[in-house]
Amino acid sequence: MLMKYEEYLELDETSQIIELQNAVSLLRKEHTDYTKVVFQLHAFYVEITQEGNKIKMFPFDSTQFLDPYLEQVDISFVDQLVKLQ
């Protein structure tokens, strides 16, 4: 059964973390001081930021928050695929 974004927000933090076991890791950004990973969970996303021992969760349902990640995705292989056709 699909969980709605609003239902996820109503969960306590422990339950939210447990629910992430059903998520798919989509994007990752590594910085010197922290790492961010975006997961897709049903029809929404959860960004996890790990900075040392601290972990922050940012659930969102708007794709606008994916933009900083999508800018770093290398899609140059698509041009080569198109040329092969």
Going by pLDDT thresholds of 50, 70 and 90, the confidence category of residue 14 is very high
Q: How many domains, in total, are found in the chain?
A: 1
pLDDT at 75 over 80: no
Q: Which residues contact 65 (CB under 8 A, 6 or more apart)?
A: 45, 47, 58
Q: Give the pairing of strands 44-51 and 54-60.
A: antiparallel
What does each C-alpha distance from 4 to 1, 15, 42, 55, 60 come to in angstroms? 10, 14, 8, 23, 11
Element (H, E) at 37: strand 35-41
Per-residue pLDDT, 51: 96
Half-sphere exposure at residue 50, Cβ-oriented, CA atoms within 13 angstroms: 8
Range of the domain at 32: 5-84
